[in-house]
């Protein structure tokens, strides 16, 4: 019996596809007034946005994907699985606490910040020491993933402060965060059953 069920590959693989599809479709519905480089994903999920229902649905689906993946990712350290699941709950909260049509929202921003932090830390929290662990659960790749997500967050903050391209930075970071669970699950499924921790 496999340590990671094959359905976890589906749940983790759907996460980046649903997220990117959501912002692309919602952006098209929003029309030429929406600039994906300078405006964030939250604008697409704001009350009154043309693609509100699409982006909200994508964020809800993303949260469910993270929850299912955390449940199926049995070889990961428990702290990492909890952080991934909590990141999924934060995605649900981001969807259920949209920003108003103008201005910001402390509740939405807080949920997004907590979700980002959890999804950036889960790779390190899920890692095992030693070479017997699947590639995605080894400490060096996990540290690299967390560091890249952290650098992406710094870029996002810089772009937000200078009113540059925070939308582009946010998309890069969220792509990394939604893709990493898939890479971890795939690495677990590639490892022979006898070698799993």
- With respect to residue 1, please indicate whether it lies within any of the assigned structural domains: no
- With respect to residue 77, please indicate whether it lies within any of the assigned structural domains: yes
- With respect to residue 141, please indicate whether it lies within any of the assigned structural domains: yes
SS3 138: strand
| Number of domains the chain contains | 1
Going from the C-alpha of 76 to that of each of 48, 71, 80, 131, 184, the distances in angstroms are 40, 10, 6, 14, 9
CB contact burial 27-55 (16+ within 10 A = b; e otherwise): bebbeeebebeebbbbbbbbeebbbbebb
The band of 67, judged by pLDDT with boundaries at 50, 70 and 90, is: very high
DSSP 137: G
| Predicted pLDDT at 191 | 60
pLDDT for residue 101 is more than 80: no
The band of 1, judged by pLDDT with boundaries at 50, 70 and 90, is: very low
CA distance 166 to 16: 19
- With respect to residue 127, please indicate whether it lies within any of the assigned structural domains: yes
pTM across the whole model: 0.91
- With respect to residue 197, please indicate whether it lies within any of the assigned structural domains: no
- With respect to residue 2, please indicate whether it lies within any of the assigned structural domains: no
Cα angle at 82 between 80 and 95, to 5 degrees? 115
pLDDT digits (tens, 9 = 90+) for 30-59: 999 999 999 999 999 998 899 999 999 999
- With respect to residue 155, please indicate whether it lies within any of the assigned structural domains: yes
Mean local confidence (pLDDT), 182-187:
96
Structural domain containing residue 44: 7-192
Q: For the chain, what percent of residues have pLDDT higher than 90?
A: 81
- With respect to residue 180, please indicate whether it lies within any of the assigned structural domains: yes
Cα angle at 79 between 62 and 96, to 5 degrees? 30
pLDDT for residue 196 is more than 60: no
* Lowest mean pLDDT segment, chosen from 60-64, 82-86, 103-107, 115-119: 103-107
């Amino acid at each position: 019996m496999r340590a990671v069920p094959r359905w976890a590959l589906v749940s983790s693989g759907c996460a980046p596809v649903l997220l990117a599809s959501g912002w692309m479709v919602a952006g098209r519905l929003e029309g030429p007034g929406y600039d994906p480089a300078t405006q964030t994903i939250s604008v697409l999920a704001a009350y009154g946005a043309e693609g509100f229902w699409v982006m909200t649905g994508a964020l809800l689906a993303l949260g469910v994907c993270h929850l299912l993946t955390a449940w199926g990712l049995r070889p990961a350290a428990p702290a990492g699985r909890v952080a991934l699941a909590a990141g999924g709950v934060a995605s649900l909260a981001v969807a259920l606490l949209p920003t108003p049509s103008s201005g910001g929202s402390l509740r939405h921003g807080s949920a997004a910040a907590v979700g980002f932090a959890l999804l950036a830390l889960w790779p390190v929290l899920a890692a095992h020491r030693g070479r017997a662990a699947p590639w995605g659960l080894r400490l060096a790749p996990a540290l690299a993933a967390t560091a890249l997500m952290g650098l992406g967050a710094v870029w996002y903050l810089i772009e937000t402060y200078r009113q540059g391209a925070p939308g582009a930075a946010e998309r890069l970071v969220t792509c990394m965060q939604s893709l990493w669970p898939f890479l971890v699950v795939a690495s677990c499924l590639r490892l022979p059953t006898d070698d799993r921790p």
